[in-house]
Structure 1
Amino acid sequence: MERLAQPVLAGVVTALVGFASSFAVVLAGLRAVGATERQAASGLFALCVVMGLVAIWLSLRHRLPISVAWSTPGAALLVSTGAVEGGFPAAVGAFLVSALLIVAAGLFPALGRWIAAIPQPIASAMLAGVLLSLCIAPVRALIDVPLMAAPVILTWALLTRFARRWAVPAALVVAVAAIAVSGPPGGLTGAALLPVLEFTAPTWNVSALVSVALPLFVVTMASQNVPGMAVLSNYGYRAPLRPILVGTGIASGLTAPAGGHVINLAAITAALVAGPDAHPDRDRRWIAAMTSGIGYVVLGLTAGLATAFVLLSPPVLVEAVAGLALLGALASALAAAVAAPEGREAAAVTFVVTASGLSVLGIGAAFWGLVAGGFMLLLMRSRNRVAAEPPAPKPATTPERTEPQPLSVRTSADPS
């Protein structure tokens, strides 16, 4: 019984930390692309239940600690993208296309290799640009709602020092308390506290596909699935990539009509179930991943309540909690973007364009950041290639033949 208690507890902690740390980001992202309150709550509920079921199935099937989560960077991408042409139905259509691309990456390894071939500085800089707008929200909140934001930020800072794992969940608890104290009396009256599924018929247009579907696929693969596999590998597990991508891609497609954006391998919380804290015996850590799946299913029942609380709070306070949750990801992305000296200029261009939030031809900044950074990288590489080329050797020349000159005899009359 004691051997079972440790991985079960690790799984419960993983689900609580994963949900509490980032559900506000998911809700903010869905609302940003046009979801109503009920549609956002539906999307959160669908994501929790389906990703929990996928985690249970993958862990049982492969007896590996395969942890599944929603794409937090993907949700941040939705925040930075904002409203898309065609509204939320077009966003749902983009979610479906992104899910199909994930399935295709599992079925056709070449597609996965193409994503892996995106230079690390460019992919990391795009992610950093996406995260920046949310990560500066705590500063805005200190200006706009200082009495509510200051305790939240202070709690996060102290626990980051002494109990990092619980820093964001504790900050969320303090934010909920501040909302409860400062909110209007009877604020939850009439709110739909029980989870409901509200389906949205998808539509498709080029703007939404380029602004949402392609960047969402790239961000999910580069910042979730690839690091998730790396975490498992670091702990000595050889997880089968193909069934994981196909399974999470199909699951993402199932959640899309209900409002969910994308499901993928966990990266941030993966170590909680794959590391020795889950169990000394590495062959029993899959129980922790399975338990986390069950925890997500249960937590999905709170989606309506979570959405109602978020709607009661000042939007900047919700964004502040989300920004605190993403500060670590921002730091990692910035470090990876400038790690290689030869890619720094291109990374800087990608970051600036993405963070600008510009929209050209209805296409969001994340896409243009990739384009601008890729162009800059090609330009710099071509310049470096030319500079590195050795000068062409000069052709050998034959000395000119000269006619012999007659010897001159010097006389006293000759000038000296």
Structure 2
Amino acid sequence: MSDASSSTALRQPVVAGLVAALVGFTSSFAVVIAGLRAVGANQAQAASGLLALCVVFGLIMLVLATWTRLPLSFAWSTPGAALLVSTGTVEGGWAAAVGAFLVTGVLLALTGLVPALGRLIGRIPVPLAQAMLGGVLLQLCLAPFVAVADSPALIAPILVVWLLATRWIPTWAVPIAFGVALVVMAADLVASGATVPSSELVPALTWTSPTFTIAAVVGIAVPLTVVTMASQNIPGVAVMSSYGYRVPWTPSMVAAGAGTAVVAPLGGHAMNLAALSAALTAGDGAGPRDRRWIAAATAGVAYLVLGPLSGALVALSAAAAPGIVESVAGLALLAAFAAALRGALDDPDHRTSSAVAFLVAASGLTILGVGGAFWALVLGLAVRWGIERPRPSEDVSR
């Protein structure tokens, strides 16, 4: 191979990895901040969680890609963070939420170590899981359109730029909208005379000793595991398969689960195989097949660099006018919301159970201190098996 060809073969995966990290970070960090704050994290704890997630899954990507020579990409659970927004504070507050994150890590690792558990989660009907996710995402996806009515001068520029970018460069639409949001937030802070203390710009890892409550385990850990598996890990495997790669399931799930357990006391909620990032690091744009692992490794290094920005982003978000961060988060989740609705309602034989699950998840229902996401699964399954009565020969995961 000539020097020029060798340089190109290396440059392609490096650029693909940098793009994957930038798109992944800027298009969804607002959702993570909103989720952590919703379940009780203060500004320092949210910044710690964002930093811990970036560092740990960045290291996991770097190590696994180098070890397996596969473009394995990991990310924080964006739908899981949206679930936290809909759940809100649980009994026991932030410490109980941290305990639920720790349980989530154990459950994710067990799906790789114990095949029966993986099969059990896999038996949850896909339309119900998608319906639950759609209900969880609804409020966040409404945020930009609610906010533009309250603060048109602040929100309208973000929406207009996002729409134009969606038309011409869809992959970068949310990151560009995020960039506009940063400009809007900075301008609003200058106009209001507010300042962000320099001490808040640099994040620090903040430890929270976990506590365990039934409400948090049932209301956060169980649906967080289901959402992460159904909307992140399984699609991540499918994306890799579409490019001819077989994901090493056990090492990947153990890494995701162990990583989640490590970051939980530091404020991180959950990590998983990536789907969008996987398409960027495993696709043809990442160069020759034997070099694409470099794209995942590069993305891992990039996340290590992006992590320290979490303090400034959380501080700026906390000081910003209400609705700006939530609007960016809602725009980031619109595609996932549309996909969830389609998956939930595609099967006409089971639309009633899916509609029930969707509405319960979207309602904000809380029973016995447990949020609506869990009850969406329970009531959706009850309607599916009690009223719709699947045929004995029917695939339970249909």
Counterpart-to-counterpart distance in 2, 1:174 and 1:276: 30
Counterpart-to-counterpart distance in 1, 2:112 and 2:62: 20
Counterpart-to-counterpart distance in 2, 1:249 and 1:265: 11
Quote the offset at 1:203 in angstroms: 0.3
Asked whether the equivalents of residues 145 and 317 of structure 1 are also in contact (C-alpha less than 8 Å), the reply is no
Match of 2:373 in 1: 366
Asked whether the equivalents of residues 102 and 260 of structure 2 are also in contact (C-alpha less than 8 Å), the reply is yes
Match of 1:10 in 2: 16
Match of 1:287 among 294, 300, 325: 294
Counterpart-to-counterpart distance in 1, 2:390 and 2:314: 52
Q: What is the letter of the counterpart of residue 359 of structure 1?
A: T
SS of corresponding position for 1:269: helix
Match of 1:355 in 2: 362
Match of 1:331 in 2: 338
SS of corresponding position for 1:264: strand
Counterpart-to-counterpart distance in 2, 1:53 and 1:195: 18
SS of corresponding position for 1:285: helix
Please list the CA deviations of residues 79-113 of structure 1 after superposition, one character each: whole Å capped at 9, or x if unmatched: 00001110100000000001000111110011111
Counterpart-to-counterpart distance in 2, 1:325 and 1:64: 27
Counterpart-to-counterpart distance in 1, 2:269 and 2:118: 20
Identity of aligned residues (%): 54
More helix by share: 2
Match of 2:232 in 1: 224
Match of 2:395 in 1: none
Match of 1:380 in 2: 387
User: Normalised by the size of structure 1, how large is the TM-score?
Assistant: 0.91
Q: CA RMSD in A?
A: 1.1
Q: What is the letter of the counterpart of residue 349 of structure 1?
A: V
Quote the offset at 1:36 in angstroms: 0.6
Q: What is the letter of the counterpart of residue 236 of structure 1?
A: G
Quote the offset at 1:382 in angstroms: 2.9
Deviates more, 1:68-77 or 1:137-146: 137-146
Asked whether the equivalents of residues 80 and 224 of structure 2 are also in contact (C-alpha less than 8 Å), the reply is yes
SS of corresponding position for 2:15: helix
Match of 1:405 in 2: none
Please list the CA deviations of residues 269-291 of structure 1 after superposition, one character each: whole Å capped at 9, or x if unmatched: 21011110111x21211110110
The 5 A counterparts of 1:16-165 are 16-165=22-171
The reply on whether 1:238 has 2:242 as its aligned counterpart is: no
Counterpart-to-counterpart distance in 1, 2:121 and 2:276: 20
Counterpart-to-counterpart distance in 1, 2:182 and 2:390: 54
Q: What is the letter of the counterpart of residue 58 of structure 2?
A: G
Structure 2, unmatched stretches of 5+, are 1-6, 393-398
Match of 1:391 in 2: none
Quote the offset at 1:384 in angstroms: 6.7
Quote the offset at 1:190 in angstroms: 4.1
Please list the CA deviations of residues 366-395 of structure 1 after superposition, one character each: whole Å capped at 9, or x if unmatched: 00000110001002343878xxxxxxxxxx
Match of 2:260 among 242, 252, 259: 252
SS of corresponding position for 1:200: coil
Deviates more, 1:258-267 or 1:187-196: 187-196
SS of corresponding position for 2:272: strand
Q: What is the letter of the counterpart of residue 211 of structure 1?
A: G
Counterpart-to-counterpart distance in 2, 1:315 and 1:292: 32
Asked whether the equivalents of residues 107 and 225 of structure 2 are also in contact (C-alpha less than 8 Å), the reply is yes
Tell me the number of residue pairs that the alignment of Structure 1 and Structure 2 aligns: 384
Structure 1, unmatched stretches of 5+, are 386-416
The reply on whether 1:269 has 2:277 as its aligned counterpart is: yes
Counterpart-to-counterpart distance in 2, 1:317 and 1:259: 23
Asked whether the equivalents of residues 191 and 308 of structure 1 are also in contact (C-alpha less than 8 Å), the reply is no
